[in-house]
């Protein structure tokens, strides 16, 4: 019991400052969407919202939120798995600065 209490570091990545989170690109096949809104509801980063336009079948496909800020797509691909219509998928954008 004589031990010193351990210093509390707190939750978070140790090398968070050096790492950048990935940036995802969202691809949408607009005519396949049936407007179930599962991608909008269950996106871990909340980057999607229902749009006001109609597709050919009369459903509202998703669109990106207007103010990105902190909420940016990280290309996790959850929407691609959760979409029952095979209408949305993500790709991770390659960093242009690193390529140079």
Partner 1 sequence: MSMEFDVDYEYQDRCMYMAESHPSDEMLRDDRIPHIWCTGCGCGEIISTYIEAVKELDINPDKVAIVSGIGCIGRAAGYLKFDSFHTTHGRAIPFATGLKVARPELDVSVISGDGDLFAIGGNHIIHAARRNMDILVICSNNYTYGMTGGQFSPATPIDSFTTTTPYGNCERPFNLCDLLASAGAAYVARWTSIHVRRLQKSIKEALTKKGFRFIEVLTPCPTGFGRRNKMGTAIDTSKFYQDHGKIDHGADTRDVRLEDPLSDFSIGTFVDLDKETYLEAKERIFSREVKK
Contacts of residue 27, Cβ cutoff 8 Å, sequence gap at least 6: 88, 89, 90, 91
State which residue, 21 or 44, has the beta carbon closest to partner 1.
44
CB of 39 to partner 1, least distance (A): 11
Distance CA 89, CA 80 (A): 4
- Does 27 bind partner 1 (CB under 8 A)? Our answer is yes
* Per-residue interface string for the shown chain with partner 1, residues 35-74, x marking contact by CB under 8 A: xxxx--xx--------x-x-xx--x---xx----------
Binders of partner 1 in range 76-95 (CB under 8 A): 78, 80-87, 89
Nearest to 55 by CA among 38, 39, 32, 37: 32
């Amino acid at each position: 019991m004589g031990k010193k209490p351990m210093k509390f570091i707190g939750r978070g990545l140790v090398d968070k400052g050096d790492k950048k989170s990935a940036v995802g690109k969202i691809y949408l096949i607009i005519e396949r969407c049936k407007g179930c809104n599962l991608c909008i509801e269950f996106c871990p980063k909340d980057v999607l919202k229902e749009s006001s336009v109609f597709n050919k079948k009369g459903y509202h496909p998703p669109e990106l939120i207007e103010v990105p800020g902190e909420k940016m797509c990280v290309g996790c691909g959850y929407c691609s798995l959760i979409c029952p219509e095979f209408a949305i998928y993500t790709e991770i954008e390659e960093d242009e600065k690193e390529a140079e």
